[in-house]
């Protein structure tokens, strides 16, 4: 296991989200952002301002059992009270801070598709390539449309410090 820790500060995350937003503007016009709670909340708000999208919905999902570095993971659980009826026939963008194994984003996409969006795309600030490779035989580019940065090892965001 890689013990490397990648620290991302406010300036870097702002740049990552701005660059992703510029890429999104060039080929997609989402009507609603779905933020994955907790990590996706801050990037979602920043992105909503850059993209001028006032509508944000939240989906709570928990995969790690603690906030410690290299915390043990469990099967992602989604809050059962989620109501995404407003996304029906809308262009939706799911936003999260990190992609590791991909289990959370797959679970969220599965849930969002039940609400029949017109189109669905995903934006991930940071991909932990090491964790992805342990769990998948295919590329994360097949799963995620917009990626901000690729690293190997644990990531600590400024809101976690």
Please state the domain extents for the chain: 5-63+78-160
Closest CA to 144 of 157, 125, 159, 161: 125
* β-bridge pairing 56-64 and 73-78: antiparallel
For the segment 78-123, what is each residue's pLDDT rounded down to a tens digit?
Answer: 666 667 888 899 999 999 999 999 988 998 999 899 999 999 999 9
CATH architecture of 5-63+78-160: 3-Layer(aba) Sandwich (3.40)
The reported pLDDT for the residue numbered 61 is 73
Whole-model pTM? 0.88
The reported pLDDT for the residue numbered 1 is 52
- Alpha carbon of 131 to those of 22, 73, 90, 128: distances in Å? 27, 11, 32, 6
The reported pLDDT for the residue numbered 37 is 86
Give pLDDT < 50 ranges for the chain: 74
3-state secondary structure of 119: strand
């Amino acid at each position: 296991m890689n013990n490397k820790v990648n620290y991302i500060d406010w300036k870097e995350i702002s740049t990552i989200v701005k660059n992703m937003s510029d890429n999104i503007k060039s080929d997609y016009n989402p009507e609603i952002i779905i933020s994955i709670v907790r990590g996706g909340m801050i990037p979602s708000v920043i992105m909503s301002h850059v993209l001028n999208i006032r509508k944000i919905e939240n989906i709570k999902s928990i995969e790690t059992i603690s906030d410690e570095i290299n915390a043990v993971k469990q099967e992602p659980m989604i809050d059962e009270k989620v109501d995404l009826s407003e996304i029906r026939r809308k262009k939706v963008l799911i936003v999260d801070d990190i992609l590791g194994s991909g289990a959370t984003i797959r679970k969220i996409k599965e849930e969002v598709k039940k609400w029949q969006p017109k189109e669905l795309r995903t934006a991930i600030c940071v991909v932990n390539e090491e964790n992805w490779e342990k769990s998948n035989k295919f590329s994360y580019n097949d799963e995620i449309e917009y990626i901000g940065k690729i690293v190997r090892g644990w990531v600590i965001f400024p809101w976690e410090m």
